[in-house]
Amino acid sequence: MSPAAVGRAVELARADGMKHLVRESGFLLTREGSDVVCALIPSVMPTGLSARELTRMEKELRKQAVSYAAAMKRYMPGMEHSELVMTGPSIGFRETRKLVGRTMLTGEDVLSGRKRPDGIARGGWKPEIHKDIRQMATYLEVKEGNWFDIPLGALQSETLENLYGAGRMIWADDTAFAAVRVMGTCFATGHAAGVAAALQAKDRAAAELRAKEHVAAALQTADSMAAPLQAKTAEADFAGAVRRELLKQGALI
């Protein structure tokens, strides 16, 4: 069940007139001693998230699943007696809409393994970029054996004080997002977002009072730089509090 065997089966099926076979490569996964095979091949590129577009994509993917199962059964040695048992319950997305946050995680941060004092989660997956449904992913190499920090600001809404995002919603450019959308990192950012929101809710009254004091002090001194500097100090203090709570709960940061 090698990628080459999948490609040959798809080529033969296309030559025989089979439709909905958009790519020649993909993964066939199985466990030793099992006769159950999981095929990771069907793929579409979204053009939107309307009900009409979601329906179109779901119909197309199910047609692809049926076609690939037929192609494997007819043209792939060892799968002559295979049957399609089930397809996924719904369409799955690698990337859609994202939060606009306070700090953008960049591809350079990922590739260089940047460490940050306001890091609230670690990422260790190399960027896995999918831009062509006919091809396998492109992987970008990162510094050997390295990991990178995800800053708290990537989880915080730019405009809504008490809104946090996690997982596939965090603020990152295309290259960085291709590294942070994987499940382990989603778990870590979800944990961090929950801790940050809980700490903010617990300390909201005190935080609002401190903010008012910072503004008043800035106005009294007529120092236009004072408010931004004080705000950055408050942000750093809050990130430090989140990190301490995560460490207390056993998170690896």
- Same domain for 119 and 208, yes or no, is yes
Q: Does residue 91 lie within any of the structural domains? A: no
Task: Write down the pTM of the prediction.
Answer: 0.74
- Same domain for 135 and 219, yes or no, is yes
Number of domains in the chain: 2
Q: Does residue 83 lie within any of the structural domains? A: no
- Same domain for 181 and 65, yes or no, is no
- Same domain for 175 and 237, yes or no, is yes
Residue 239's pLDDT is 86
- Same domain for 114 and 223, yes or no, is yes
DSSP assigned state of 125: P
- Same domain for 36 and 128, yes or no, is no
Q: Does residue 89 lie within any of the structural domains? A: no
109, two tokens: 């941060």
- Same domain for 138 and 62, yes or no, is no
Residue 224's pLDDT is 42
- Same domain for 112 and 60, yes or no, is no
- Same domain for 34 and 122, yes or no, is no
Q: Does residue 87 lie within any of the structural domains? A: no
Residue 30's pLDDT is 84
- Same domain for 133 and 232, yes or no, is yes
- Same domain for 130 and 236, yes or no, is yes
Q: Does residue 98 lie within any of the structural domains? A: no
Distance separating alpha carbons of residues 249 and 233, to the nearest angstrom: 25
Q: Does residue 11 lie within any of the structural domains? A: yes
Residue 151: CB atoms within 10 Å: 23
Domain housing 178: 107-248
Residue 24's pLDDT is 81
Number of H helices, E strands in the chain: 7, 6
Q: Does residue 84 lie within any of the structural domains? A: no
- Which of 75, 94, 120 marks a domain boundary? 75
Distance separating alpha carbons of residues 125 and 113, to the nearest angstrom: 11
Ranges under pLDDT 70 in the chain: 1, 145, 204-234
Q: Are 192 and 121 in contact (CB under 8 A)?
A: yes
- Which of 29, 58, 75 marks a domain boundary? 75
Residue 234's pLDDT is 67
Q: Does residue 90 lie within any of the structural domains? A: no
- Which of 33, 53, 75 marks a domain boundary? 75
- Same domain for 131 and 240, yes or no, is yes
